[in-house]
Structure 1
Amino acid sequence: MTTSTQGDVKDRSLAPRGKERIEWAARDMPVLRLIRERFSREQPLKGIRMAGCLHITTETANLALTLQAGGADLVLCASNPLSTQDDVAAALVCEYGIPTFAIKGEDEETYYRHIHAALDHRPQLTMDDGCDLVSTLHSSRRELLGQVIGGMEETTTGVIRLRSMEKQGVLKYPVLAVNESNTKHLFDNRYGTGQSTLDGIIRATNLLLAGRTIVVLGYGWCGRGVAARARGLGANVVVTEVDPIRALEAVMDGFRVLPSLEAATIGDIFITVTGNLNVIDRPHLERLKDGAVLANSGHFNDEINIPELEKLAVRKRRLRDFVDEYTYADGRQVYLLGEGRLINLAAAEGHPASVMDMSFANQALGAEYMLKHASELQPRVYTLPLEIDQDIARLKLKAMNVAIDTLTSEQQSYLNSWEAGT
């Protein structure tokens, strides 16, 4: 472990390997590259102190380099104890001079010490993934709030927490819910989570998914992606939901929809993607069949009630990296992946660079937008304007060499008119 004023990383000797992987990811992030080129010329973030609490991955590194190119004075910390790629963290510090506080597998004390280290930078802009940075700032570092211009939030769980803060009147500065942009949640949440979740499960277990019953708990955009990809790999997919509209959509999409307690008795692999608490609770755990595998792809490790699993087990052992076996008193064995944390980042590499290209384009442009418009905004949760969303989509299509139509003046006039009828 290496600690200095430049950060806290596991091993600086990993930096050259991390740099190579960051460059590999950059090849599949053309939108962010175009933004970086403009930021280098225009310097829209010049001199702005930023703190980013994000998953420290190759894709995040390319976002950090874009912010740095735009003039930002940036410090990073991890947004999940198991999501850090140690070679990337080392490269950020040693190759690019970006102070980074992140070590894969860090304990809770270290995790929050790293968040406080990022806040010691006295940020004017915050960039969060899960709202831990913002919640810490509002609870134990309130003396810094007066310096903050605004912030950005990356993920569904964080947006839920921020909206709760807004509703209770405790949010002290405006935050852009990047997760609500179409070029984020329609693609990152669906295609990114769909692929990377199954990638993490397969890397952790080496199980064949074809023919198994996979229970997807939650049918939001992440759940849609996981269910679709699991079906594509030959699994028999069951969906559980509390929202009648989403449940109906899952039925119409061809999935079997069951109450979670009923699904608990038939599932081989369970994947939680709800952002809620104890989605798999003790009654579910008691009904699991021998060999059931539990995985979470929601942001926090509280969707599976791990304390109750610990109580039910008479023995626990680690069989493989990221696979813990819990043996019940009756001999049944249940397997928890990645300590119940984000399996796609705990056991794999997170979302592919191509989809994070759009998500992080939203983050970079969100930072620019916040600086320009913060004085007009209240301490509330906002979304990026549709025009920015559409510009990102256009850039992505251009990078993919895909052309689309444009409206003729006649068509535009027709759409803006009310006189034309039958």
Structure 2
Amino acid sequence: MTHADLISTGAARVDWIRSRMGLLADVRREFAASRPFDGRRIGMSLHVEPKTAVLVETLAAGGAELVGTGNFGSTQDDVVAYLNTLPGITIVGRRSDPLEQHERNVATVLDADPDILLDNGGDLAAGIVARGLGDRIIGGTEETTSGGDRLRGELHGRVPFPVIVINDSLLKAIGENKHAVGQSAVESFMRLTNAMVTGRRFVVFGYGWCGRGVAHYLRALGGKVAVVDVDELKAFEATLDGFRVGTGDDFAEWGDVFITATGRPDVLGFDLIERMHDGAIVGNIGHVPWEIDVPALRANAVARTRVVDAIDRFDLPNGRHVVLLAEGRMFNLAGTEPKGNSLESMDLGFLLQSLSLERVATRAVELTAGPQPVPDDLDRTIARRMMAILNAAA
């Protein structure tokens, strides 16, 4: 596909998505009038796909200049090509970039000297802290649980500017994480593998909002589902929700498909993988590709075969094999036709992003330094807007 073809394809896809994101359409009109980002440069690290492009257009309508890159392995090249035709927008990176190039892409964003961050996984915040440039940032947002954990863990006390953690919003947790991630994970599993859910045994690691959604949607389609969570209260909730609950050891030989949704490193190690039955499938939907010990799998496998896009077969020393989805990255954004979360959920989530970034741009002095939840008044405003749309469609 030529570059011109990429631009044309990206523009057509974004046009379709834009026409279905009514919440962002409203705020785009508001931003065009109020111009909250005039004179501001937003540095972005976020999955670059058509719904993200509509968010970028919305911020640009409010006067923002934006320099950004995608997240590792999920960038859609036609959307990048389209966005780079827009004035004031610069997006770097390609879907095929290796991790080292992705890290260079993040550095390019930071080199552009942004004063607001739109982060996903904490990469930009960590880079700013490492460079000692926190005084140049007035604030930002963080999209994910993984990034929020990083801000409160590795970067605790080191971020001198406010960061609104979008995933701390109950509104987003319910609308996007539980229902949209749950739906997209199941749809993507079926699309990538062409396998049936009904009757198959699934083991879901993590019963946070994303894990809840995955478990419930799998069961709704007839899957047999077990849950692993080290948090006693979440394990208790999963038990009362009717799922089998135990440890990874309990289900290593039982499961057909193993899905990690914790945001934590080394949740599913090679010791469990080598106990799985022949042909077991392993995949991750957490933001950072560290939940499955893919390096150990690669190091111990006697052979690796790329079956099709986003599916690799690893032959093990014990004579069995396992199938890995998307090399351990988010498989609900993988494959030749990745869809990701639903239009409605991302319309909601990106409205949260837009209004939170507006709050940072116009009222940062009212916010405290470091990670914090979405302001309650924004959550309630957005809930009312979303309910108006849902009720109107009922």
TM-score between both structures, scaled by the size of structure 2: 0.96
| Structure 1 equivalent of residue 101 of structure 2 | 110
Kindly indicate whether the alpha-carbon contact (under 8 Å) linking 1:12 and 1:94 is maintained by their aligned counterparts in 2: no
2:254 to 235, 248, 266: 266
Q: Letter of the aligned partner of 1:394 in structure 2?
A: R
| Structure 2 equivalent of residue 34 of structure 1 | 26
1:376 to 362, 366, 383: 366
State whether structure 2 residue 38 is matched by structure 1 residue 46: yes
Kindly indicate whether the alpha-carbon contact (under 8 Å) linking 1:15 and 1:95 is maintained by their aligned counterparts in 2: no
Instruction: Report matched runs for 1:64-103 at 5 Å.
Output: 64-79=56-71, 81-95=72-86, 98-103=89-94
Q: Letter of the aligned partner of 1:70 in structure 2?
A: G
1:189 to 177, 191, 195: 177
DSSP-derived class of the 2:391 partner: coil
> Per the alignment, do residues 236 and 126 of structure 1 end up closer, same or farther by CA in structure 2, a change over 3 Å counting?
same
Q: Letter of the aligned partner of 2:23 in structure 1?
A: V
Whole-Å Cα distance in 2 between the matches of residues 36 and 378 of structure 1?
A: 27
Q: Letter of the aligned partner of 1:146 in structure 2?
A: D
Kindly indicate whether the alpha-carbon contact (under 8 Å) linking 2:76 and 2:95 is maintained by their aligned counterparts in 1: yes
| Structure 1 equivalent of residue 357 of structure 2 | 367
2:145 to 156, 161, 166: 156
In structure 1, the gaps of 5 or more residues are: 2-9, 405-422
How far did residue 22 of structure 1 move? 0.9
| Structure 2 equivalent of residue 218 of structure 1 | 206
DSSP-derived class of the 2:217 partner: helix
| Structure 2 equivalent of residue 324 of structure 1 | 312
Whole-Å Cα distance in 2 between the matches of residues 185 and 121 of structure 1?
A: 32
Kindly indicate whether the alpha-carbon contact (under 8 Å) linking 2:65 and 2:88 is maintained by their aligned counterparts in 1: no
Whole-Å Cα distance in 1 between the matches of residues 183 and 3 of structure 2?
A: 29
Kindly indicate whether the alpha-carbon contact (under 8 Å) linking 2:274 and 2:316 is maintained by their aligned counterparts in 1: no
DSSP-derived class of the 1:287 partner: coil
Instruction: Report matched runs for 1:157-176 at 5 Å.
Output: 157-165=146-154, 167=156, 169-176=157-164
Q: Deviation digits for residues 197-248 of structure 1, max 9, x if unmatched? A: 1222222211111110011000000000000111111110111110111111
Kindly indicate whether the alpha-carbon contact (under 8 Å) linking 2:126 and 2:155 is maintained by their aligned counterparts in 1: no
How far did residue 165 of structure 1 move? 4.7
Whole-Å Cα distance in 2 between the matches of residues 131 and 82 of structure 1?
A: 16
In structure 2, the gaps of 5 or more residues are: none
Q: Deviation digits for residues 32-89 of structure 1, max 9, x if unmatched? A: 111111000110111111111000011111110000000011111112x211111111
2:126 to 131, 135, 138: 135
Mean Cα displacement is larger for which, 53-62 or 97-106? 97-106
Kindly indicate whether the alpha-carbon contact (under 8 Å) linking 1:166 and 1:380 is maintained by their aligned counterparts in 2: no
| Structure 2 equivalent of residue 7 of structure 1 | none
Q: Deviation digits for residues 321-344 of structure 1, max 9, x if unmatched? A: 111101112320100010000001
Q: Letter of the aligned partner of 1:149 in structure 2?
A: I
Q: Deviation digits for residues 158-201 of structure 1, max 9, x if unmatched? A: 0000112553x211211111111122111111111101112222
| Structure 2 equivalent of residue 412 of structure 1 | none
2:389 to 393, 399, 410: 399
| Structure 2 equivalent of residue 145 of structure 1 | 134
Whole-Å Cα distance in 1 between the matches of residues 373 and 4 of structure 2?
A: 38
Mean Cα displacement is larger for which, 292-301 or 108-117? 108-117
How far did residue 27 of structure 1 move? 2.4
Whole-Å Cα distance in 2 between the matches of residues 105 and 176 of structure 1?
A: 30
Q: Deviation digits for residues 297-353 of structure 1, max 9, x if unmatched? A: 001111001122123311111111111101112320100010000001123221111
DSSP-derived class of the 2:23 partner: helix
Q: Letter of the aligned partner of 2:20 in structure 1?
A: D
Q: Letter of the aligned partner of 2:129 in structure 1?
A: H
Whole-Å Cα distance in 1 between the matches of residues 380 and 324 of structure 2?
A: 40
Instruction: Report matched runs for 1:235-246 at 5 Å.
Output: 235-246=223-234
Whole-Å Cα distance in 1 between the matches of residues 339 and 164 of structure 2?
A: 26
Q: Letter of the aligned partner of 2:253 in structure 1?
A: T
Q: Letter of the aligned partner of 2:113 in structure 1?
A: R
TM-score between both structures, scaled by the size of structure 1: 0.89
> Per the alignment, do residues 390 and 403 of structure 1 end up closer, same or farther by CA in structure 2, a change over 3 Å counting?
farther
Instruction: Report matched runs for 1:114-129 at 5 Å.
Output: 114-129=105-120
| Structure 2 equivalent of residue 13 of structure 1 | 5
State, as a whole percentage, how many aligned pairs show the same letter: 39
| Structure 2 equivalent of residue 62 of structure 1 | 54
Whole-Å Cα distance in 2 between the matches of residues 197 and 117 of structure 1?
A: 31
How far did residue 145 of structure 1 move? 2.6
Kindly indicate whether the alpha-carbon contact (under 8 Å) linking 1:166 and 1:379 is maintained by their aligned counterparts in 2: no
Kindly indicate whether the alpha-carbon contact (under 8 Å) linking 1:19 and 1:95 is maintained by their aligned counterparts in 2: no
